[in-house]
Amino acid sequence: MLVAADSREFEGLLNFCRDVRALPLPVHWARGGRLNGREVLLIANGAGGRRAAEAVDAALGVAPVEMVCSVGFCGALENGMRPGEIFVANRVQSSGREYAVSVPSTGRPHRTGVLASIDRVAQTSREKSDLRATGASAVEMEAGGAATRAAELGLKFYCVRSVTDLAEEDFKFDFNAALRSDGRFDTMRLIAAACRRPRTLLPELLRLRRRCRLAAETLGEFIADCRF
């Protein structure tokens, strides 16, 4: 099974899936299908480790789960990483714990390293620099929860991410304030903020939208080529 925060993170991968069907699971979005001849579950359940763990639990009720792969977007912590670049974690740091991560086989270029999985959006270059000092190369919010549940269940765990924001960048939006209790970002709140400060916030919103589309595309191409 593959777990993400938002269904948009699966948009690129869906182009490679066959026999896609909606699944009636207690999550935000769930699809079953076939990828490279294998049955796959694709689940998006909102941002944060707790919601990722709940997604794993939901999947256990519909099909045998052989492995868990946390997928989606991430922020770069290393200078030189670019939008749409693929990052494959070989370790995940989360809440004071560190998890070993299996690495899929692929011939496609990518970076590997430690992923910091935290409970908030890393908003500033200063915060990213502090995370980099711990040895991490990228940051996101869900892998820690998925890794914890996979370890408890004795399942193999993978983590594949695509970069949307860079180490040297600050967000002008307060994404943490816009994160709702259901793990979704309040889109109307973000749009309203952009309308109040169009010269500074609207370009950031449009840039992030373009990068998310690119990241979804490169993520889908990469995962479709992987052997887990």
Q: What domains can you pick out in the chain, each with its CATH number?
A: 2-170+216-225 (3.40.50.1580)
pLDDT in tens, 15-53: 999 999 999 999 999 999 999 999 999 999 999 999 999
Distance CA 57, CA 19 (A): 23
pLDDT of residue 98: 96
Averaged pLDDT of the chain = 96
Per-residue pLDDT of 196-222, as tens digits, reads 999 989 999 999 999 999 999 999 999
Residue 61 pLDDT class (50, 70, 90 cuts): confident
The average pLDDT across 155-163 equals 98
Please check the confidence at residue 103 and state whether its pLDDT lies above 90: yes
pLDDT band (50, 70, 90) for residue 116: very high
Encoded amino acid at 150, one letter: A
Residue 63 has pLDDT above 90, yes or no: no
Contact 37, 227 (CB under 8 A): no
- The span from the CA of 94 to the CA of 113, in Å, is 14
193 vs 82: which has the higher pLDDT = 82
